[in-house]
Amino acid sequence: MGSNERRDQRSDDDGQQSDDAGQPSQETLTRNWDELLQEIRVTQTGVQILTGFLLTVPFSSRFDDLTNFQRMVYLAVLAGSVVTTGLVVAPVAFHRVLFRERRRELLVESANRFAMAGLATLAATLAGVVLLCVDVVVGRTAAWAAGGAVLLLLTVLWAVLPKVTNRLASTPRNPPPSADREPDA
């Protein structure tokens, strides 16, 4: 990167490198895209396994023993799993459709929104799975308590704790991507 280009870049409040127009640099966008894809891969694998398992449940011998409530919870959980799969795969579809359109910033922003929505639906789906399983094994009251506890736990771990930790952490922010490089001679 030339010295003129370097002067035109600054760091925003998040330590992200951006230009004078407030646009993230290509380096930052590429790094963010790569990080998002890694996170999505982790989520996607678990969701696909859960969806595959849920698709087999109606073919088990005990499925006929489920109450109407349990069947409705099962259908809600199955729908949640399918919606979560759609949300975590959507960034890949966006990338394919917009390939070579020079829309990396749009891809990163959209993928981030899809990932956040996917985590929210995954939390609700997992709480529903626990609700269903505990209802079958123990009973309705324990099921509501267990499902609620799982939803609360995942909300705290995935949404509240990162925000609180960021606010209270005494560690410094990471430097912008270009801060650790020597200027061009």
Angle between helices 68-97 and 26-56 (to 10 degrees): 150
Query: What is the three-class DSSP state of 26?
Result: helix
Phi-psi region of 15 (alpha: psi -120 to 50; beta: other; left: phi over 0): left
What gap in Å lies between CA 95 and CA 100, rounded to an integer? 9
Q: Is residue 5 part of a domain?
A: no
Which positions ≥6 away from 82 have C-beta within 8 Å?
51
Evaluate whether 127 touches 76 at the Cβ level (below 8 Å): no
Of residues 17 and 117, more confidently modeled: 117
User: What value does the mean pLDDT of the chain take?
Assistant: 84
Q: Is residue 141 part of a domain?
A: yes
Q: Is residue 89 part of a domain?
A: yes
Of residues 61 and 10, more confidently modeled: 61
pLDDT at 107 over 90: no
pLDDT at 1 over 50: no
The pLDDT of residue 154 is 97
The per-residue pLDDT for range 164-174, each reduced to its tens digit, is: 999 998 888 77
pTM of the model: 0.77
Q: Is residue 184 part of a domain?
A: no
Of residues 181 and 156, more confidently modeled: 156
The pLDDT of residue 170 is 86
What gap in Å lies between CA 177 and CA 58, rounded to an integer? 51
Q: Is residue 107 part of a domain?
A: yes
Confidence of residue 185 (pLDDT cuts 50, 70, 90): very low
Query: What is the three-class DSSP state of 18?
Result: strand
Q: Is residue 12 part of a domain?
A: no
pLDDT at 81 over 70: yes
Q: Is residue 182 part of a domain?
A: no
pLDDT at 49 over 90: yes
Domain membership of residue 133 as a residue range: 26-168
Of 164, 107, 152, residue with least CA distance to 127: 152
The per-residue pLDDT for range 127-158, each reduced to its tens digit, is: 999 999 999 999 999 999 999 999 999 999 99
Q: Is residue 183 part of a domain?
A: no
Number of domains in the chain: 1
